[in-house]
């Protein structure tokens, strides 16, 4: 009979466990451990007092949170499971196991301190040479809220559902109990309907406070607004915006909004990114969602950075349109004083209407004078009366300057980098991490969740490219001054 070592699964095992010896030197968990140990956490320490039961150390809790979001374990129950069974979690926690409620409470309790921690990590990335300030790409992605579209109602839908529930309650109360439908079942169903009715009445009360007649609200997450995603799904969502540096893909600023990308968000993100990174970026790359005439005017007159921000019409012209080509709007020539216009066929156009605005700009609508006898009318206009109309805004000079910049060789090369800088960040979120829907409800918690996702993205970049440099840097000095 061959000889084997004794094998007994019922026998007790005593093992000496040293968490610091569980992982290799450049494991991502060690990177997070090193970063958090150097951070200034005075803002978090202020929440705790000497008396009472000692709390888990904030450093340990932050390490667990940051690492969990880096690997895509965003549920606190998954974090608790990892703390019990995984060596990387045991290393970070020192074999302590806070339960999922404690982890979630810590996460939401310190949401106001998280932006400062995000800034500290961006500062560290700059100290490691991961930000070159050459290109800053800005874009947003829509992430579904932790709510179902079916829970979204407007005034008409809410009233209709309330009346339907009232009818159901009345029918249940008139029902005589029997073996198939005992009294307990009737009472339970009535209680559920009453609960739904109260939720609908509360939602209706909020809707009636708003001026917009067609406004809607989600009864589960009242802050989530209906948005159309790229795949044409209509869902309650939040728009998560990122400002990403082009050197290593470090996210320098974030924003969570309740609408799609709008022009007023552009300068806010640029200024925040410069403040967090400690410098000014040379070229700003953004899509047409951030463009309007007022933004273009501010770019040319007030900003020092070079912006590459196409207008929506410019993007349509590049991809083809029914009125592109010889008879598109840019082919119509305007006189120097802006009061006369000629069509591509050389025919004069007169001013149909003129409107002056308080900020000084003027908007004129020109109409053709010889359209009815023009042989190319069908290719030029689709209007019912047969006349071509062209709207001209006096601020179009700023749009033309931007188009000229984008069509130049340098402009095309710069703008082509936008997609390669910011889109991979969105792909990592939705494909690698599987983050297509929020786990928390409410605007503030959605902002918290996105900051954790972006913060962990930056930490992952450090672990991948600058692990040795990090150990050398933190061995000499801290990257963030700690208050005495």
86 part of a folded domain? yes
242 and 284 belong to one structural domain: yes
CA atoms within 13 A of residue 295's CA, in its CB half-sphere:
21
289 and 413 belong to one structural domain: yes
270 and 415 belong to one structural domain: yes
Q: Which residue has the tokens 């149909």?
A: 352
Average predicted confidence (pLDDT) for the chain: 89
DSSP H or E run through 137: strand 135-144
Does 321 score more than 60 pLDDT? no
185 and 259 belong to one structural domain: no
Give the model's confidence band at 17: pLDDT under 50 very low, under 70 low, under 90 confident, else very high: confident
Q: Which residue has the tokens 């930490």?
A: 459
Domain termination residue (choose one: 179, 198, 218): 218
461 part of a folded domain? no
247 and 310 belong to one structural domain: yes
260 part of a folded domain? yes
Please compute the mean of the pLDDT values over residues 162-180 and round it to a whole number.
Answer: 87
164 and 302 belong to one structural domain: no
125 and 229 belong to one structural domain: no
Q: How far apart are the C-alpha atoms of 374 and 390, rounded to whole Å?
A: 16
Q: Which two structure tokens, joined as six digits, stand for 100?
A: 């999922």
Q: How far apart are the C-alpha atoms of 378 and 386, rounded to whole Å?
A: 8
7 part of a folded domain? no
Does 322 score more than 50 pLDDT? no
pLDDT recorded at residue 323: 44
120 and 59 belong to one structural domain: yes
387 part of a folded domain? yes
80 and 112 belong to one structural domain: yes
* pLDDT tens figures, 178-223: 878 888 888 899 999 999 999 899 888 888 888 787 888 999 999 9
Please compute the mean of the pLDDT values over residues 454-471 and round it to a whole number.
Answer: 94
203 and 232 belong to one structural domain: no
Beta strands of 321-411 (E only): which ranges? Answer: 333-334, 341-342, 348-356, 362-368, 389-393
CA-to-CA dists, residue 220 to 149, 196, 440, 443, angstroms? 10, 12, 11, 12
Domain termination residue (choose one: 196, 218, 240): 218
24 and 87 belong to one structural domain: yes
246 part of a folded domain? yes
Q: Which domain holds residue 206?
A: 150-218
Domain termination residue (choose one: 218, 239, 263): 218
333 part of a folded domain? no
pLDDT recorded at residue 479: 53
Per DSSP, the residues of 292-339 read -HHHHHHHHHT--SEEE---HHHHHHHH--TT-STTSGGGSEE-TTSS
Residue 284: strand pairing partners: 136, 307
Q: Helix H segments across 137-280?
A: 155-174, 183-209, 264-277
CATH of the domain at 445: 3.30.420
* pLDDT tens figures, 25-64: 889 999 999 999 999 999 999 999 877 888 999 999 999 9
199 and 248 belong to one structural domain: no
pLDDT recorded at residue 314: 56
189 part of a folded domain? yes
Number of domains in the chain: 4
């Amino acid at each position: 009979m061959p000889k084997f070592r004794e094998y007994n699964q019922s026998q007790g095992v005593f093992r000496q466990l040293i968490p610091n010896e569980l992982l290799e030197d450049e494991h991502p968990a060690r990177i997070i451990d090193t970063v958090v140990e150097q951070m200034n956490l005075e803002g978090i320490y202020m929440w705790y007092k000497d008396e009472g039961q000692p709390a888990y150390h904030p450093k340990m809790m932050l390490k667990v949170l940051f690492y969990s979001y880096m690997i895509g374990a965003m549920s606190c129950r998954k974090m608790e499971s990892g703390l019990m069974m995984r060596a990387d979690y045991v290393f970070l926690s020192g074999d302590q196991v806070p339960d999922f409620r404690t982890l979630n409470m810590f996460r939401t309790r310190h949401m106001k301190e998280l932006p400062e921690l995000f800034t500290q990590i961006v500062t560290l990335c700059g100290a490691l040479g991961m930000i070159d300030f050459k290109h800053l790409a800005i874009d947003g992605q829509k992430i579904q809220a932790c709510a179902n579209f079916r829970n979204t109602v407007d005034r008409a839908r809410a009233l209709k559902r309330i009346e339907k529930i009232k009818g159901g309650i009345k029918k249940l109360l008139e029902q005589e109990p029997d073996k198939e439908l005992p009294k307990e079942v009737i009472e339970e169903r009535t209680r559920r309907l009453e609960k739904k009715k109260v939720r609908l009445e509360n939602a209706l009360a909020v809707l009636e406070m708003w001026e917009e007649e067609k406004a809607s609200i989600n009864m589960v997450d009242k802050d989530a607004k209906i948005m159309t995603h790229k795949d044409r799904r209509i869902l309650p969502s939040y728009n998560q915006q990122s400002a990403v540096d082009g050197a290593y893909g470090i996210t320098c600023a974030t924003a969570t909004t309740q609408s799609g990308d709008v022009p007023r968000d552009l300068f806010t993100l640029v200024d925040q990114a410069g403040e967090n990174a400690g410098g000014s970026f040379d070229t700003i790359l953004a899509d047409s969602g951030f463009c309007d005439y007022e933004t273009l005017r501010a770019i040319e007159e007030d900003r020092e950075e070079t912006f590459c921000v196409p207008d929506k019409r410019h993007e349509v012209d590049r991809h083809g349109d029914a009125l592109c080509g010889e008879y598109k709007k840019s082919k119509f020539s305007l006189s120097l004083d802006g009061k006369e216009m000629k069509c591509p066929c050389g025919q004069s156009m007169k001013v149909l209407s003129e409107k002056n605005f308080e900020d000084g700009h003027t908007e004129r609508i020109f109409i053709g004078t010889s359209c009815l006898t023009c042989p190319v009318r069908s290719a030029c206009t689709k209007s019912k009366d047969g006349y071509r109309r062209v709207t001209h805004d006096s601020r179009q000079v700023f749009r033309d300057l931007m188009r000229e910049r984008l069509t130049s060789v340098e402009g095309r090369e710069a703008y082509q980098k936008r997609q390669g800088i910011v889109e991979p960040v969105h792909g990592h979120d939705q494909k690698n991490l599987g983050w297509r829907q929020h786990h928390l409800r409410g605007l503030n918690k959605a902002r918290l969740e996105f900051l954790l996702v972006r913060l962990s993205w930056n930490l992952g970049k450090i672990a991948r490219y600058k692990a040795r440099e990090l150990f050398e840097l933190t061995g000499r000095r801290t990257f963030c001054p700690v208050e005495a």
